[in-house]
Amino acid sequence: MTNSPIFHSTVTGVPRIGPNRELKKTLEAYWKTGSADDAQKLSDTAYTLNADITERILSEGLDQAPTVGRSFYDAVLDTSALLGVLPQRFSDIPDHEGPLPRHSDTAFATARGTASQPASAMTKWFDTNYHYIVPELAANTTFRLNATDLLNDLAATPQSRPVFVGPFTYLALSRTSDGSQALDHLEAVAQQYAVLLDALKQRGIACVQFDEPALVTNVDPGLLPRVRAVYQELVSHGVPLIVTTYFGDATVCVETLSGIGLAGFGVDLVTSPGALPAWTGEETLVAGIVDGRNVWRTNLDQALGTLQKLSERGPVAVSTSCSLLHVPYTIAGEDLAISDWLAFGWEKIHEVGVLARALRGESTEADLADFAASRAAAADRAASPLIHNPHVQQALREVTEADRHREAADLRKKVQAETLNLPPLPTTTIGSFPQTPQIRQARAQLRRGDISAQQYHDAMVDEVKLVIAKQEELGLDVLVHGEPERNDMVQYFSEQLAGYAATHNGWVQSYGSRCVRPPIIFGDVSRPAPMTVDWYTTAAGLTDKHVKGMLTGPITMLAWSFVRDDQPLGTTADQVALALRAEIADLVAAGAQIIQVDEPAIRELLPLRVEQQPAYLRWAVGAFRLATSGVAPEVQIHTHMCYSEFNELIDTVADLDADVTSIEAARNGMQVLAALKEEGYELGVGPGVWDIHSPRVPAQQEVDELLASALTSVDPHLLWVNPDCGLKTRGWPETLASLQVLVSAAIKARAQLV
Ligand code: GLN
Ligand code: ZN
């Protein structure tokens, strides 16, 4: 007989944005007006959303709900505010007086920047599409706990468990401006948390959760004794503590922190369904068995089996594998043929309740019906013709290694030079042009039925005409149609591919007030009809210059979607690749000689542990090459990557074997080019010479210098001149002015060549 668990059931974390994006709306209203009235509404909304989800969790029979008080933007940003280390450059922003927490305005400035000061960096939270605000630290940073507002927010009921970003993870995600090690502050941060724990204890808080997902990555083993010592100290403050990891294997965390008196470990049993040998049964295992970041209904029989086995070894509580932040709120209100196979946030909370009661032998009639329904859904899904497309499977079986190879790069270079007839330092853009309010309005009108599909189409054709005319005027060499018809580069294709589903209201927070609605890949992917050929033809008919065909690559099509869990990701990637391969063939048949296949997300799916990365890169590169290798040597394949730290992907850039790769480089100088050269990379490259993430128009001299510096590592016939990403978020004035600078720089540099 094992001890009883500290609680029976919970979820690891909750979304904050609201079932109908209430927080987004009130946030944006407050940012716009700054009025006391909007501040009050924002504060009320955050309270209400928090209270509602707690109530939902408890009413489903779970006996614990995570709580963070009012959270407006991001939990890491909240932590920086809590620890008193929001950047100095915003220190002149007065404390908020009124309903919002005192540091709210400073925190918003940190996240969004001000007219005079840049925002803090923002980056992806582990391997998810959620972005956090990167803490800025230095060797001399001092931490000063700032918990008054938080303490006022937290209800001291036994059912509510405050959740914090743990000290190790907070520092592992921080950056320093002075080359010092953020983790040097481990003990100092823990000291602040100790003060916080004392305050929480005084208020009668029953249990606290520290999230330490950074412990699933490759941690320097030399740090682990310090992590243990820090938690030993925290435990001594007498509040029961749960340490939670997710997105990977909990072994290092459990080994490091076993036997020091923690109340429990939260573990992700979905990403890493191992046997957890390190768990001795002394602490409660908060078993994350319901997938917190994908949308599939839990197989309740299987999950219960796992839970029962674990509970032979020690006390077990039932939970989600990670915070429900990563999935939409509810499937209710969606009308999808595959609804029965899905579970979003609320449905997952329900599943946790059903499993927890079953584990205690207290299933209700309704619970038993849920088990039966889960069984039926699993059987239906496994056999459904909606998923299984024999043609796709056959086509995939017929793929050979040769299908992933083109002719030798040297030969391609030679024939492309002859047929494309481009100047040295050719100029181009990454694909999209400004998505103006008129374009968005036309899309909204179409959605509401105010204009017909034909009227919408005509409006987009007009936009293509404008974009082509502007590019002609600017004197760009390789033109694009401008992508006005694409709401989003993944959604646009997912709507046209079989095997993908879209939701109406499946919003997930991406960062701050920004939400996305990721499509769901549920079945074998295929392309019923050409997707972009008409747009290409329209644009190409308006100019004598080359127009690039423009596609989203297979990895990005996966990275920004919910993916199947019933086959390897690599198989899904190959299916998407085959659909794209057919599209490319059609584009070529329509006359396209240059085709760009964007892979901005290739780094995002990189596994968190280095030992798993080579296998990923193998299938990712394989899928890209399957998509792009079906063309003759004279067809020039481009790719584009961004948001990436390229240095660790240099080999991958070469392996993709695209004829031209454009990359985000305006902000990190031209270092990437030197690294590419060192690797012996001899294909075309377009380092972005204009940072499109700001409306600032680059000075002529700046771009001239960037090109001169690029020319020290790249042959002028291989060097492309382009912005560092698409222009959809930019306005026309800065777009025209900046492209003018870019074209002039190329012309000048060409003149200096002879
Ligand atoms: N072709 C896309 C565009 O120009 C690429 C966007 C991206 O890299 N994220 O918008
Ligand atoms: Zn980009």
Distance from C-alpha of 219 to C-alpha of 230, rounded to nearest angstrom: 16
In this structure, which long-range contacts are made by residues 78-82, counting pairs with CB atoms below 8 Å and at least 24 apart in sequence? Answer: 78/107, 79/135, 79/164, 79/165, 79/170, 80/107, 80/110, 80/133, 80/135, 81/106, 81/107, 81/146, 82/145, 82/146, 82/147, 82/150, 82/164, 82/196
Which pLDDT belongs to residue 2?
A: 62
Q: 193 to each of 20, 249, 677, how far by Cα in Å?
A: 34, 25, 47
Does the beta carbon of 276 sit less than 6 angstroms from any atom of ligand 1? no
- The three-class DSSP label of residue 548 is strand
Name the DSSP letter for residue 683.
S
Closest ligand 1 atom number to CA of residue 550: 1
Distance from C-alpha of 211 to C-alpha of 225, rounded to nearest angstrom: 18
Cα(231) to centroid of ligand 2, in Å?
41
Q: To test the ligand 1 pocket, which listed residue (433, 487, 555, 640) has its Cβ within 8 A of the most ligand atoms? A: 640
Catalytic residue among 8, 391, 457, 693: 693
Does the beta carbon of 725 sit less than 6 angstroms from any atom of ligand 1? yes
Q: Name the pTM for this structure.
A: 0.95
Please list the rounded mean pLDDT of every run of 10 residues in the chain (754 residues): 86 97 97 97 96 96 94 97 97 94 96 90 92 97 96 87 98 95 98 98 95 98 98 98 97 98 98 91 98 98 98 97 98 94 98 98 98 97 95 98 97 97 98 96 95 97 98 98 96 97 96 95 98 98 98 98 97 98 98 97 92 96 98 98 76 95 75 86 93 88 94 94 94 97 98 88
Residue nearest atom 8 in ligand 1 by C-alpha distance:
600
Distance from C-alpha of 188 to C-alpha of 192, rounded to nearest angstrom: 7
> For residue 431, which ligand has an atom nearest its CA?
1
Q: Which residues 6+ apart lie within 8 Å of 682 measured at CB? A: 409, 718
Tokens of 322: 């990670």
Q: Which residues 6+ apart lie within 8 Å of 112 measured at CB? A: 31, 119, 512
- The one-letter amino acid at 703: V
Residue nearest atom 1 in ligand 1 by C-alpha distance:
431
Residue nearest atom 3 in ligand 1 by C-alpha distance:
726
Beta strands in 235-328 (DSSP E): 241-244, 264-268, 284-290, 316-320
> For residue 434, which ligand has an atom nearest its CA?
1
Cα(265) to centroid of ligand 1, in Å?
41
Cα(642) to centroid of ligand 1, in Å?
9
Measured on CA atoms in the order 141, 142, 147, 148, is the torsion positive or negative?
negative
Does the beta carbon of 649 sit less than 6 angstroms from any atom of ligand 1? no
- Residue keyed to tokens 């590419």: 676
The residues facing 687 across adjacent strands are 663
Q: To test the ligand 1 pocket, which listed residue (598, 602, 722) has its Cβ within 8 A of the most ligand atoms? A: 598
Distance from C-alpha of 730 to C-alpha of 327, rounded to nearest angstrom: 29
Number of Cα atoms under 13 Å in the Cβ half of residue 309: 13
Q: How many CB atoms lie within 10 A of CB 606?
A: 19
- The three-class DSSP label of residue 301 is helix
Residue nearest atom 9 in ligand 1 by C-alpha distance:
600
Which pLDDT belongs to residue 650?
A: 86
Work out whether strand 498-501 and strand 520-526 pair parallel, antiparallel, or are unpaired: antiparallel
Closest ligand 1 atom number to CA of residue 429: 4
Residue nearest atom 6 in ligand 1 by C-alpha distance:
726
Q: In what order do the strands lie in the sheet with 316-320?
A: 65-67, 160-165, 208-211, 241-244, 264-268, 284-290, 316-320
* 453-481 pLDDT, tens digit each: 999 999 999 999 999 999 999 999 999 99
Cα(431) to centroid of ligand 1, in Å?
6
96 has catalytic annotation:
no
CA angle 748, 753, 754 (to 5 degrees): 110
Cα(485) to centroid of ligand 1, in Å?
13
Q: To test the ligand 1 pocket, which listed residue (536, 725, 728) has its Cβ within 8 A of the most ligand atoms? A: 725
Closest ligand 1 atom number to CA of residue 728: 10
Helix (H) or strand (E) holding 176: strand 175-176
Cα(80) to centroid of ligand 2, in Å?
29
Closest CA to 744 of 430, 421, 427, 424: 427
Work out whether strand 131-133 and strand 122-124 pair parallel, antiparallel, or are unpaired: antiparallel
Tokens of 652: 């991958």
Cα(639) to centroid of ligand 1, in Å?
10
Which pLDDT belongs to residue 669?
A: 61
Number of Cα atoms under 13 Å in the Cβ half of residue 223: 21
DSSP 3-state helix, strand, coil percentages of the chain (rounded to 5)? Answer: 45, 15, 40
Beta strands in 64-139 (DSSP E): 65-67, 122-124, 131-133, 136-137
Does the beta carbon of 726 sit less than 6 angstroms from any atom of ligand 1? yes
Closest ligand 1 atom number to CA of residue 641: 8
**Burial (CB count <10 Å: 0-12, 13-18, 19+), residue 115:** exposed
Return phi, psi of residue 241, to 5°: -115, 135
